[in-house]
Amino acid sequence: MSERSQHQTGRTAAYDSAFLRACRREPVPHTPVWFMRQAGRSLPEYRKVREGIPMLESCMRPELVTEITLQPVRRHGVDAAIFFSDIVVPLKAIGIDLDIKPGIGPVVENPIRTRADLERLRPLSGDDVPYVTEAVRMLTAELGATPLIGFAGAPFTLASYLVEGGPSRNHEHTKALMYGDPELWADLLDRLADITSAFLKVQIEAGASAVQLFDSWVGALAPADYRRHVMPASAKVFDAVAGYGVPRIHFGVGTGELLGLMGEAGADVVGADWRVPLDEAARRVGPGKALQGNLDPAVLFAPREAVEEKAAAVLEAAAGLEGHVFNLGHGVLPTTDPDALTRLVEFVHERSAR
C-alpha cells in the first residue's frame, strides 16, 4: 500500500494514538502532550550529538535527524515526535544563500526585495531534499505507534526572513513591501506557499502522521492585514495537503487577535500561545477545531508545585474543548531542566486520565 493511500485509509500504526485522536476531536485515554523544540538545546544528549556540527548540516544527516527526533520521546515519554529540521531548510535546498548563525538565527546573504529577486525562488521537489525522505522513513520505522509531526515555516514567516535578511523586531522591510507593492508581495507569498506545500508533501508521503505550519512572526500583523495579505497563501498550503487526511496544525506567537483567522485558513488544530486562556482561544477559533497549548515555557523554571498548578489551570481551561493537545505556548527554552519536562508529561497524563 502506498504511503498516500495508507494515509487516506488511516491504516498507520499511529492512527489510534492519543495525539491523533485528539487532533481528530475523538475521545482520548488522556490528554496527549508534546513540546515545541522538545528536541534541542535543553537536552544534554542533543548538545553532545550536535557538537561541532552546524545547524543546517545537522538537518541534512538522516541518522542524526533520527537520533535527535527520538531523544525527547525516549526521555520524556511524549505522545508525539516532531521532525527535527529548520524552517529555512527548503529555502536552502532550492539554492537560497543563507546560513543559521549561532545566537542570531537564519541570515540571508541577498534579501529578496524586487520582482527580479523572485526568480531565485524556484519550485521544490523531493529530489532537493532526499535526506528528509530518508529521515522520515527511518523515524516512522523506529517510532511505531508514536506519531511523527512534520513541519514547515509558513509563507509569511519565510517571507519575513527573506525580505529582512534575518530575524527582525519590527519587520519594517517586510511591511514596506507588503503595503508598498501588494502585487509583488502576493506573488512572493504564493511562491513560498508552493515551496512549503511541496516540503510538507515530502514529509507526509514518507510517513509523517500530522503536520504543523509555524507562522512564528505573523503576530506582528493586524487582523485586516493578515486576512488580506497572508491568509490566501496559508490557506493554499493547508489546501495542498488536505487530500492526505493528516491533521494540520497552525501555530504562531502573539497571535491572540488572529486565532479565528488562523483556523479559517484551514487548520484542523489551532495552537495558542500562553497569552490567551484556552477556553477564550476556543471561543475565538469557533467550533470544529481542536486546540493546542498553552503553558508559558518560562513557568518550567518555577518550583514543581507552581508548574503543576499552572498546568492544571491549562487542563481546566481546556476541559470543555472538542479536542486538546497539551503543549507549551512556544518552544522549550534552552536552559530548561529536562527533568521538569519529564515530570510535566507525567503530571498531564495522570491528571487527565479518563
The C-alpha torsion from 327 through 330 and 331 to 336, rounded to 10°, is: -80
Q: In what order do the strands lie in the sheet with 148-153?
A: 81-82, 148-153, 210-215, 248-252, 269-271, 290-295, 324-328
248 is catalytic: no
Cell representation of residue 239: 489546501
Grid coordinates belonging to 266 = 484551514
Cα 333 to Cα 199: distance, rounded to the nearest angstrom:
26
Q: Phi, psi (5° rounding) for residue 171?
A: 55, 40
Question: Which residues are documented as binding site?
Answer: 37-41, 86, 161, 216, 330
* Active-site hit among 25, 50, 113, 248: 50
Judge contact between 120 and 163, C-beta under 8 A: no
- Active-site annotation holder among 4, 15, 61, 86: 86
Neighbouring CB atoms inside 10 A of 277's CB total 17
Q: Is the peptide bond before 327 cis (omega within 30 degrees of 0)?
A: no
Cell numbers describing residue 59: 538537518
Secondary structure (3-state) at 352: helix
> What are the C-alpha distances in Å from 240 to residues 1, 172, 178, 204?
22, 30, 24, 12
Active site residue 46: no
Catalytic site residue from 161, 194, 244, 273: 161
Active site residue 37: yes
Binding residues for substrate: 37-41, 86, 161, 216, 330
Is 225 tagged catalytic? no
CA dist., res. 138 & res. 123, Å (int): 26
Cα 192 from chain centroid? Answer: 16
Beta bridge partners of 248: 211
In whole angstroms, give the CA distance from residue 213 to residue 284.
19
Of the candidates 21, 24, 25, 37, the residue annotated as catalytic is 37
Q: Residue 174 carries which side chain, given as an amino acid letter?
A: T
Q: What is the DSSP letter of 354?
A: -
Q: Which three cell numbers stand for residue 96?
A: 537560497
| Catalytic residue from among 41, 61, 137, 228 | 41
- 161: annotated active-site residue: yes
Contact assessment for residue 128 and residue 195, using Cβ atoms and an 8 Å cutoff: no
Residues assigned a catalytic role: 37, 41, 50, 86, 161
